[in-house]
Structure 1
Amino acid sequence: MAKRFPALGSDQHPFQKPLLLYGVLCFVLGLAMYLTGVLLVFPRYLLNLHKLLDPVAEALVWYSGVPIMIGITLSLFDLLYMHKHKKPNVPVRFTPVQRRRVTVALTAYNDEESIAGAVEDFLLHPLVERVIVVSNNSSDRTFERAEAAGAITFNETAPGYGRCVFRCLSEAVRFEDTEFVVLCEGDSTFRAYDIEKLLAYAPHADIVNGTRTVEPLRQYLTQLSVFMYYGNIFVGKLLEAKHLGRGTITDMGTTYKLCRRDALIRLLPHLNPAVNLEFNAHLLDTALYQDLVLLECPITFHPRIGFSKGGNVDNWRGLVVGWRMIVGLVSDWKRYA
């Protein structure tokens, strides 16, 4: 029986190999080796471990040049030669919006403190046709409060952020009277007024991904720490390197995005809901593999109501999720196949 979620790189053309992605990772590995070798000076002298650590430090510093040079070579080859074969030679996309109405789909997990306010915020926006809330088997009153606020509610019993998002999108595309689906969260970190901005980019793209990396639009005290902020930019640039010439990406973890309904219908069969907290990276990576046009739009970002249950719990959790994103990008998400 054929797999439902085929490996992304299974039919990849030689010109499409992500050499820049591999090059950047090789360079980072070599730099990490070099810095580790240099920093071993402290235990060597403080603990008098010269005989044990001197050969290790010397080897790390000496051989760090190998991945660094491989990384530089791969990156330059991809940028200076392969780029012209990868960048699509097509006109700038412009598909006029026929009907400026959207279906909003909110994910929620134990968000009883915030969900009603989030639903009401979106329902009051003049461009919103309806709000869907998918509760990921919440143990509190999230489902009841979303329903009371006027949302169309669903309960996804299978645990995992990816399964919740997948259910959100699957339910939203059933409504044929809206050309667009807006995916968001029910924790009040995002605002309905940004729909206007997302729609302004809609004629040029299949997916408009909100980015939280514009400083004046990001409130200072949010769950997005400095480490997570720059980590999202770094992993976003890895995705950009993987699909060289296809997009500009500065935020991999944002959950606020606008998608054309017809593009989602095409994309959903290729998404794997078993991917958990790194599902946003999986979605964007898969969309680019399916030749969908991806754009970013600056959005506002606010402190959440309640406690984070996702990748923003703390820096360590963010590091783990970021590492899983990188592994997924390099392996084409094969571990979930």
Structure 2
Amino acid sequence: MLIAVGGLAMYLLGVAMVVPRYLLALDGPLKPVSEWLVWYSGLPLVLGTSMILFDLLVLLDRKRSTAPLRYDPPANRRVTVALTAYNDEDSISAAVADFRAHPLVSRVIVVSNNSTDATYARAEAAGALTFNETAPGYGRCVHRCLTEASRFDDTDLVVLCEGDLTFRAYDIDKLLAYAPHGDVINGTRTSEPLRQYTTQLTTFMYYGNIFVGKLLEAKHLGRSTITDVGTTYKLCRRDALQRLLPSLTPAVNLEFNAHFLDTALDQGLTLIECPVTFHARVGESKGGNVNNLRGFKVGLRMMAGMLFGWRRLAA
């Protein structure tokens, strides 16, 4: 996929050079470059497309699992909810109240990533079990969330989410409906009717998540269907999470959710996607959704981690 996209980019760049060639009278120096790009773009395009077709038409049937479809309902459907938070004082109380009100939620924990505002105090006042992760970084906050949540042996399921009100507790019912079929049920924000009109997930980031998700799907061909690598909202079986946590690298920062999915598939866990609703954030975004440029950089780092190893991205 990357080779084919590279070839397409070469072709489009060569065609686009017609503008400076004629409008800026640079036809002399730019014409051979433009022609070279257009002509030789066919090599990566043909190579990449051929490899994609080989994957799909030859390898896919051999890589798909021959095991019976899984149906293993959890005996205990109650969940521990773990919320990440960083300077979310305007939203954390409402987020905690929303999840605590769900009938199947046993407890809500909040891990504040060394917030400098009243996030910690407001989460505690709202009834959450609160922890402060002093080491900076989104990956460290998520890893601490999952670690603390997996300690409670009275629940077999852990729900990871954020404290910014972008997700809602009622979607736990959807995640639970998929729980018999997998170890990790990953919420996806790419179902258009379930996405609020204005969110921090711009059109560029929306399709970027799908693109990187398909790259991850291709890496683990025949194992899962992936359309969103950046979402936090997910349900994990506690036993699977305890096996997975030692293999995760907390120092991976904003790319941690893609790292989580990639590692889960590497470990042989069953990953299922579930469409969830996505709402406008309360407060300012501090992660990869700040703007399209930052989202683009995070996407490139996700691809680098998938291709060359996640420990290289450790902060």
TM-score by length of 2: 0.98
Answering whether residue 273 of structure 2 is matched by residue 325 of structure 1, we say no
For residues 38-85 of structure 1, give each alpha carbon's deviation from its aligned partner in whole angstroms, at most 9, with x where no partner exists. 100001111111221111111111111111111012112221222233
> Match for residue 62 of structure 2?
85
How far is the alpha carbon of 1:334 from its aligned partner? Answer: 4.3
1:336 deviates by 3.4
Contact 2:252–2:311 (Cα < 8 Å) also in 1: no
How far does the alpha carbon of each residue in 1:241-269 deviate from its partner, in whole angstroms, 9 at most, with x for none? 11111111111111100000000011101
Residue in 2 aligned with 1:123?
100
Distance in 2, Cα, partners of 1:66 & 1:118: 52
Partner of 1:104: 81
Contact 1:206 1:292 in 2 (8 A): yes
Partner of 1:19: none
Shift of 1:230: 1.0
Q: Distance in 2 between matches of 1:170 and 1:226?
A: 33
CA distance in 2, matches of 1:251, 1:194: 16
Q: What is the identity, as a one-letter code, of the residue corresponding to 1:319?
A: F
Larger relative contact order (CA 8 Å, sep ≥ 6):
1
* Structure 1 contact 219–303 (Cα < 8 Å) conserved: yes
Deviation at 1:111, TM superposition (A): 0.2
* Counterpart amino acid of residue 123 in structure 1: R
Q: Is the 8 A contact 1:197 1:297 kept in 2?
A: yes
Q: How many residues align?
A: 314
Could you give the per-residue CA deviations for residues 118-140 of structure 1, whole angstroms, max 9, x where no partner exists? 00110111000000100000010
The 4+ residue runs of structure 1 with deviation greater than 4 A are none
Matches within 5 A, 1:243-254: 243-254=220-231
Distance 1:146 1:212 in 2: 26
Counterpart residue type for residue 267 of structure 1: L
The aligned residue for residue 290 of structure 2 is 313
Q: Which residue of 1 aligns with 2:153?
A: 176
Q: Partners in 2 of 1:326 and 1:192 — Cα distance?
A: 31
Equivalent positions of 1:1-337 (< 5 A) are: 24-336=1-313
Secondary structure of the 2:250 match is coil
Q: Cα deviation per residue 1:134-182 (whole Å; 9 max; x = unaligned)?
A: 0000010100000110111110011110000000001111001100000
AA paired with 1:84? D
Amino acid at match of 2:102: H
Partner of 1:3: none
Task: Give the Å deviation of 1:93.
Answer: 0.9
Q: Is the 8 A contact 1:272 1:336 kept in 2?
A: no
Provide the rounded CA distance (Å) in 1 between the counterparts of 2:281 and 2:253: 20
DSSP 3-state at the match of 1:166: helix
* Cα shift at 1:332: 2.8
User: How many angstroms does 1:316 deviate by?
Assistant: 1.1
Aligned with 1:80: secondary structure? helix
Which residue is equivalent to 1:18?
A: none
Instruction: Decide whether the 8 Å contact of 1:93 with 1:204 is kept in 2.
Output: yes
Q: Secondary structure at the match of 2:185?
A: strand
Cα distance, 1:108 vs structure 2? 0.2
What 5-or-longer segments of structure 1 have no aligned partner?
Answer: 1-23
TM-score after normalising by structure 1 = 0.92
